[in-house]
Amino acid sequence: MVDSHSKSFFGQNTGIIVSSFSSSDPFTFIHCFKKKPNGIWEKPSSKEGKSIKFSLEEIVLILRVLNRQTLNWQTQHNYKDTTTTISFNWEDEEAEVLWINVGKYSKRLNLAQTEILRLLLSHFLQEKIIYSTLPKKLARSIKAKNPLSLEIKKTKNNGGDLDEDYDANLCEPFNRGVISNEMTDIEGSIVGETDKAFLIKFDKIEEWIPKSAIKSRSITQKNISQKFKIDNWILIKLNLIP
């Protein structure tokens, strides 16, 4: 079991990313992006695009559409005095083309893409019903026995390449209230590495930390004690700081 998942559906001008940061979170995110007139994709780091958090109950209702139990589902989200209309609907009764509309963003998914989305959300729902309802200490104990995967890759979809200028760092939090820029200096040593993350040993605990969350220049040589300046959101998430 891995603790985080993401899947990109990008076309020529509009894309969505469906992600879950933790199996113990009783929600998932859909992030919407457009290609700007200058050809560069909107970037979450510049507070561009649109991110929506869906509850378990809403995932159930979305799956009713994806399972063809109903042709459409619509709702509204209110956040900071802003109302966003959201809908999932089949283009016609043949139920082969799905439209996802989030405010001004509209994404068309073909039959194969829709089936991938259905399987992904079904997995999220089953996983989250188990782990989001466990006592926190028990959930952490179970997860400690499984490696945490933070490897996220850019994908190609519908013949449209994900723009190199697009910030695809999905390890950062989206739409969780105000995104904090606070950081903490914490001592540790690198014991493993992927393209997107370092496995760092803090005292007697080892955790995967996304490279984008480390703001200090790091010595990449393994087993050398050093101080890391790390974003507080990931330290809090991993219970490394209160």
Distance CA 242, CA 227 (A): 19
Provide the domain count of the chain: 2
Q: What is d(CA 90, CA 150) in angstroms, rounded to the nearest whole number?
A: 33
pLDDT-based confidence at residue 206 (cuts at 50, 70, 90): confident
Cβ contacts of 184 within 8 Å, gap of 6 or more:
229, 230, 232, 235, 241
Per the domain annotation, does 189 fall within a domain?
yes
Last residue of a domain, one of 113, 135, 157: 135
DSSP state of 92: S
Q: Which domain holds residue 85?
A: 5-135
pLDDT of residue 81: 83
Task: Give the end of a domain, one of 97, 112, 135.
Answer: 135
Highest mean pLDDT among 56-65, 122-131, 132-141: 56-65
pLDDT band for position 139 (cuts 50, 70, 90): low
pLDDT at 21: 86
Lowest mean pLDDT, pick from 92-106, 111-125, 138-152, 156-170: 156-170
User: pTM above the 0.75 mark?
Assistant: no
User: Which pLDDT value is given to residue 32?
Assistant: 93
Average pLDDT of the chain, as a whole number: 80
CA distances from 167 to 40, 44, 50, 99, 170 (A): 10, 7, 14, 24, 8
- 20, 117: one domain: yes
What CATH number is attached to the domain comprising 64? 2.30.31.10
Beta strands per DSSP E along the chain: 5-10, 14-20, 27-34, 50-55, 72-79, 82-90, 98-102, 105-109, 156-157, 160-161, 183-193, 197-202, 205-210, 226-231
Radius of gyration of the chain from Cα atoms?
Answer: 19
Q: Of 204, 205, 206, 202, whose CA–CA distance to 184 is shortest?
A: 202
Same domain? For 23 and 99 the reply is yes
